[in-house]
Amino acid sequence: MRLSELATSEKGTITRIHGSGAFRKRIMEMGFIRGKNVEVIRNAPLLDPVEYRIMGYNVSLRRQEAWLVEVIPGEEYRVETSAGIFAGDQGCRHQGYRVDGKVINVALVGNPNSGKTSLFNQASGAHERTGNYSGVTVDARETTIHHGGYLINLTDLPGTYSVTEYTPEELFVRTRLLEGRPDVVINVVDASNLERNLYLTTQLIEMNVRVIVALNMYDELQKSGAKLKFDELGTMLGIPVVPTVAVRGRGILELLNRVVEVYRGENPISRPVRINYGSSVEPSLEALQKEIRKNGGAPDGFPDRYLAIKLLEGDRKVTAMVEGISGYRSLAAMAQAERNMLAKAFGDEVDSVMADARYGFIAGALAETMTPAKNSAVSPGRDPDSLLTHRIWGYPIFLAFLFIMFQTTFVAGSLPMEWIESGVSRLGAMAGNLIPPGSFHDLLVDGVIAGVGGVIVFLPNILILFFFISLMEDTGYMARVSFIMDKLMHRIGLHGKSFIPLLMGFGCNVPAIMATRTLENRKDRVMTMLIAPFMSCSARLPVYVLIISAFFEKRQGLVLFSVYLTGIVLAISVALLLKKTIFAGKDVPFVMELPPYRIPSMRNTFRHMWFNAKQYLHKMGSIILVASVIIWALSYFPRLEEGTRMERLEHSWIGRAGHFIEPAVQPLGFDWKLGVSIVTGLAAKEVVVSTMGVLYQGDEAGEVGTAGLGERLREQEHASGRLAGQKVFTPFVAVAFMLFVLIYFPCVAVIAAIKKESATKWALFSMFYTTVLAWIVAFLVNQAGKWLF
């Protein structure tokens, strides 16, 4: 039972401490150690916290903390060794003895022939009892070692390649790990066959047990000529790695030191790591985990995510277990549905897709830390890597791919773009004819159809871009790209994986922000989110196209390229700055998965593409529609019956607002209309152009919208003030405006995404610093222009 369940004045003996890390350490420092007696002194008035007496002094614990301490009621209980705690072992309990409260239960796990038994013998050889007893179907041996003031119960479990359910050994090991919950697991790994051996390690990572890797047969590895940066590998896996030569007893003391350290929560490397299953499987896992949490968490010591993984894989034992517990039954059905859906999309069973992801995790970790022996064979399925992640060739190949991607996006997108454009204008004309003139007519034609239509034309480009991105993801090439970019990204304090969200940012920043989910480290995630908006998204492109074609006759492509480049340079500078200030500190390296190459199923690729496009459509259906209507209304009311269109506009709310903020944008060389466009662009940057279409209208009827807008911009003059009569746009003002649109406030949808993925604080920070930066950059450009001429 749990300590929190003891009544006032009852006594108990502590049998184990649950929880992890800092909490565990703290509670043990307070004296809550296995084997100690506790007495409940009193409950606080509201039943929380509770005062306990332990080791001769009184302490108070919150109820939820006390719940993590397992006790047996009564005094002077004989604490059993792990044999008694492991499940399924009734009848073979042995060697119960009184301990000084410092017992660590350690299990040895590893592939057959990795050297577990040798290690076990060496560790126990000079020491105490070695017992032999039978488990359910398979043997396990147990011994006790004194080390560093602790009593270590070491159990040698049968060899397994994995901990799934295929063989009795595997099942036995799994039951022991999950239900017995040893304090520390030593994973014995054959260093001369790392890729296969680490598969088991990935499963241990998922079971959320505290692991130490004994990198055994290290002598063989050295002899082969291969090199392994095992410290780095350990840091990536979040598992201390100790090289050992079990037959000679080398490294075993070191190993035991690590065991004590990890047990005490003092090892700096030991941390939970998450294996990422990719953008198709992760949402299913997330959905299952959510359902599990709704039921109050996974039963029987299963970590939530591990239970979700096993259910999705269709593990029969786990499924049966879940079906046996009321309240969890729906989970099995849900897992089945998700599994079928994924199997259809992949054209393959989900468990093999997930095994691939684990091997991809291993391949990624080894690619960064291991230099294989000269004559060793490349593992099958990863052959193209010798070219695609080549030290030199990797980059031109990637650049060529990028070029094809952007080129296709714009060239192949232009034709359907024209269709949609003419469709929208026909729809506008039709609606205009059908509906009698009046406010409603104007709202529908000038507000809704013009506003949303101006944006929907970009849908083909966006679909194509997302098609390429999905294709890169599904073939496994995306992972290689992060891999080859890792070095460069490290220079700016980011990780190779940040490259993908940044790349996606060129399409739309919303999915880019969501793509940061693959980054395990929170610091990297937030940093990536903060700089991703500088990757100029496709919504900003119409602004550039409008301005460049109006004010630059020559070298249009170069100007456009420079704008994009400015964004990239800013992103790098801001990253460097953040790294030195808010996010200073050491990086935690982590594994970049290198999944095997797959021929993507078109079905899956289209599903991805559609998922991304749906978010874009959603944005249009909601934010842009609302924004268009609001902008239209603000520029329509209050109505002036007399006067030119221009006078009416200046009389409207938006006209007044524009004049109000004019002083703020004047130093940038902008007039009040640009100021208004910037304000409306907060909703979505596509709206900047449609607002300009409304504001820079000619005096003649029909001179509205974006047709001929460039001409009207060129003729635009300052209406009043110091600059009255001068042209609004100089090339410098044009550039300042483009840069302002590039840099300032991403858009409402992106801010919402940042808030959802990180915290309100970062959303606010992002709003603020981008706008200030935009103002400064535009100011500098405008002042430079004045100074030069």
CB of 115 to Mg ion, least distance (A): 8
Tell me which residues in 571-630 interact with ligand GDP (CB under 6 A). Answer: none
Strand 211-216 vs strand 241-243: parallel, antiparallel, or unpaired? parallel
216 touches, from Mg ion, ligand GDP, none (C-beta below 5 to 8 Å by class)? ligand GDP
Residue 83 half-sphere exposure, CB side, CA atoms within 13 Å?
A: 23
Question: What's the rounded Cα separation, in Å, for the pair 18 and 70?
Answer: 7
Question: How many amino acids of this chain bind Mg ion (CB under 5 A)?
Answer: 1
| 552-to-407, 432, 710, 742 alpha-carbon distances in Å | 22, 35, 11, 18
121 is a contact residue toward Mg ion (CB under 5 A): no
Both tokens assigned to 543: 């602004």
Per DSSP, helices labelled H in 581-652 are 602-619, 625-636, 645-651
**Which of 43, 117 has the CB closer to Mg ion?**
117
Q: Which positions ≥6 away from 264 have C-beta within 8 Å? A: 25, 28
> Which of these segments, 44-52, 106-114, 566-574, 601-609, binds ligand GDP (CB under 6 A)?
106-114
117 is a contact residue toward Mg ion (CB under 5 A): yes
**Which of 112, 324 has the CB closer to ligand GDP?**
112
CB of 594 to Mg ion, least distance (A): 32
**Which of 114, 604 has the CB closer to ligand GDP?**
114
496 touches, from ligand GDP, Mg ion, none (C-beta below 5 to 8 Å by class)? none
CB of 155 to Mg ion, least distance (A): 12
Question: What's the rounded Cα separation, in Å, for the pair 600 and 389?
Answer: 19
219 is a contact residue toward ligand GDP (CB under 6 A): yes
Nearest to 670 by CA among 680, 681, 658, 682: 658
> Which of these segments, 116-124, 265-273, 514-522, 573-581, binds Mg ion (CB under 5 A)?
116-124
197 is a contact residue toward ligand GDP (CB under 6 A): no
Among 4, 118, 267, 782, binds ligand GDP (CB under 6 A): 118
- DSSP code for 644: -
220 touches, from Mg ion, ligand GDP, none (C-beta below 5 to 8 Å by class)? ligand GDP
Nearest to 355 by CA among 318, 288, 309, 303: 309
496-527 core/surface letters (b: 16 or more CB in 10 A; e: else) = bbbbbbbbbbbbbbbbbbbbbebbbbebbbbb
Closest-approach residue to Mg ion (CB): 117
Q: How many CB atoms lie within 10 A of CB 447?
A: 23
**Which of 58, 113 has the CB closer to ligand GDP?**
113
CB of 222 to ligand GDP, least distance (A): 10
> Which of these segments, 56-64, 111-119, 633-641, 724-732, binds Mg ion (CB under 5 A)?
111-119
**Which of 171, 246 has the CB closer to ligand GDP?**
246
Q: 3-class SS at 45? A: coil
* Ramachandran region, residue 217 (left: φ > 0; alpha: ψ -120 to 50; beta: rest): left
Among 71, 228, 233, 245, binds ligand GDP (CB under 6 A): 245
Strand 37-43 vs strand 50-54: parallel, antiparallel, or unpaired? antiparallel
CB of 317 to Mg ion, least distance (A): 24
CB of 121 to ligand GDP, least distance (A): 8
117 is a contact residue toward ligand GDP (CB under 6 A): yes
Residue 122 half-sphere exposure, CB side, CA atoms within 13 Å?
A: 18
216 is a contact residue toward ligand GDP (CB under 6 A): yes
> Which of these segments, 132-140, 217-225, 451-459, 683-691, binds ligand GDP (CB under 6 A)?
217-225
Q: 3-class SS at 385? A: helix
Question: What's the rounded Cα separation, in Å, for the pair 566 and 560?
Answer: 10
Q: Which positions ≥6 away from 430 have C-beta within 8 Å? A: none
- DSSP code for 718: -
Question: What's the rounded Cα separation, in Å, for the pair 108 and 186?
Answer: 5
220 is a contact residue toward ligand GDP (CB under 6 A): yes
242 is a contact residue toward ligand GDP (CB under 6 A): no
112 touches, from Mg ion, ligand GDP, none (C-beta below 5 to 8 Å by class)? ligand GDP
Question: How many amino acids of this chain bind ligand GDP (CB under 6 A)?
Answer: 16
**Which of 117, 167 has the CB closer to Mg ion?**
117
- Backbone φ and ψ of 266, nearest 5°: -110, 0
> Please, what is the angle between helix 329-346 and helix 350-369, to 10°?
70
194 is a contact residue toward ligand GDP (CB under 6 A): no
587 touches, from Mg ion, ligand GDP, none (C-beta below 5 to 8 Å by class)? none
115 is a contact residue toward ligand GDP (CB under 6 A): yes
Tell me which residues in 663-702 interact with ligand GDP (CB under 6 A). Answer: none
**Which of 226, 545 has the CB closer to ligand GDP?**
226
**Which of 193, 336 has the CB closer to Mg ion?**
193
CB of 159 to Mg ion, least distance (A): 6
Q: How many CB atoms lie within 10 A of CB 643?
A: 11
**Which of 140, 469 has the CB closer to Mg ion?**
140
562 is a contact residue toward Mg ion (CB under 5 A): no
CB of 140 to Mg ion, least distance (A): 11
Both tokens assigned to 403: 């070029």
Beta bridge partners of 572: none
Both tokens assigned to 658: 């524009």
Question: What's the rounded Cα separation, in Å, for the pair 147 and 151?
Answer: 6
Question: Do the beta carbons of residue 230 and residue 216 sit within 8 Å?
Answer: no
CB of 117 to Mg ion, least distance (A): 3
112 is a contact residue toward ligand GDP (CB under 6 A): yes
- Rg for the chain (alpha carbons), in Å? 32
758 is a contact residue toward ligand GDP (CB under 6 A): no
Question: What's the rounded Cα separation, in Å, for the pair 593 and 279?
Answer: 13
116 is a contact residue toward ligand GDP (CB under 6 A): yes
Question: Do the beta carbons of residue 182 and residue 106 sit within 8 Å?
Answer: yes
> Which of these segments, 105-113, 279-287, 454-462, 548-556, binds ligand GDP (CB under 6 A)?
105-113
217 is a contact residue toward ligand GDP (CB under 6 A): yes
Q: What are the strands, taking DSSP E only, across 519-670?
A: none
73 is a contact residue toward ligand GDP (CB under 6 A): no
Burial of 168 per CB tally in 10 Å (0-12, 13-18, 19+): middle
CB of 151 to ligand GDP, least distance (A): 23
Segment (H or E) for 106: strand 103-110
**Which of 114, 279 has the CB closer to ligand GDP?**
114
159 is a contact residue toward ligand GDP (CB under 6 A): yes
132 is a contact residue toward ligand GDP (CB under 6 A): no
CB of 330 to Mg ion, least distance (A): 42
245 touches, from ligand GDP, Mg ion, none (C-beta below 5 to 8 Å by class)? ligand GDP
Nearest to 528 by CA among 758, 756, 745, 364: 758
By the criterion CB under 6 A, which residues form the site for ligand GDP? 110, 112-118, 159, 216-217, 219-220, 245-247
By the criterion CB under 5 A, which residues form the site for Mg ion? 117
